[in-house]
Amino acid sequence: MAQSLKALDRPRSLSDQAYTTLRAHLLSGRFSSGQMLQEEGLAAQLGVSRTPIREALARLASEGLLETAGRSFVLPALSRADIDDIYELRLMLEPAAVSHVAERMTGRKDLQPLRDEFAAMTAAHASDDADGFIEANYRYRAAWLRLVTNRRLLRAIELYADHVRYLRALTLGDRATRSVVLRGLKRLTTAFAAGKPDQAAAAMRDHLREAKRILQEAFDRRTEDGDGHAVSM
């Protein structure tokens, strides 16, 4: 093979673009549980043919973010057992990840985005801006995930966390829940600033346990209210 050959530049495929757009809509809660997602309607909205939509929906289904329903796809529901399983995995993965991040913190450049987003969350909470809090919370998480050097670990974290992202958006509308989140992330930020891997892991472990408790309580309330035995993702 000629050594002078270079990889060709090519724009992102329509399938990739459709996948990214639909995934963002799923995780933001813009689709409701049980809503049928059909190729024809989505293709018309996005201005593309049905083929890239079909490929994007199949990819989302392979990640567990959609389920097939005949020729359509629907947003799946989570049971209490699903929450248990997902958080069991997150408790294995994320404390180890933040431990590695704390160990490799290189100073102000790495830490400043986390401090900025924590400040944004604090300000949004003070003004009772739930949407602003949620967006800053996502940015905070993205900031420390960018510092994870193990790409395989990062992919596993993102996959399982995404299965409860929509639920997290629902619970963060509650002021008391936001206070719990701020306390947990303050501990984590302090551990990052001190470069203490063990403290970062412990802070994340406690943070995830609190998140799981809050989600389970939300699930139980829905069940008691007669909304069935599962909650939409």
DSSP string, 17-75: HHHHHHHHHHHHT-S-TT-EE-HHHHHHHHTS-HHHHHHHHHHHHHTTS-EEETTEEE-
Q: At how many degrees (to 10) do helices 39-46 and 50-62 cross? A: 120
CB atoms closer than 10 angstroms to residue 190: 13
Q: Encoding tokens for residue 138?
A: 């996502």
Alpha-carbon distances, residue 200 vs 109, 129, 214 (angstroms):
18, 28, 21
DSSP 229: S
Which residue is it, tokens 């724009």? 11
pLDDT tens, N- to C-terminus, the chain (233 residues): 455 665 545 567 888 888 888 887 776 666 766 678 888 888 889 898 889 899 999 998 888 788 888 778 887 777 888 889 989 999 999 999 999 999 988 778 899 999 999 999 999 999 999 889 988 998 999 999 999 999 999 988 887 776 666 666 668 888 999 999 999 999 999 999 999 999 999 999 999 999 999 888 887 876 666 544 443 33
Within 8 A by CB and 6+ apart from 22, the residues are 37, 42, 56, 57, 60
Q: Give the phi and the psi of residue 74 in degrees, each rounded to 5.
A: -135, 155
Domains of the chain with CATH codes: 14-75 (1.10.10.10), 78-232 (1.20.120.530)
**Which pTM was predicted?**
0.74
**Considering just the CA atoms, what is the radius of gyration of the chain in Å?**
20
Which residue is it, tokens 């093979």? 1
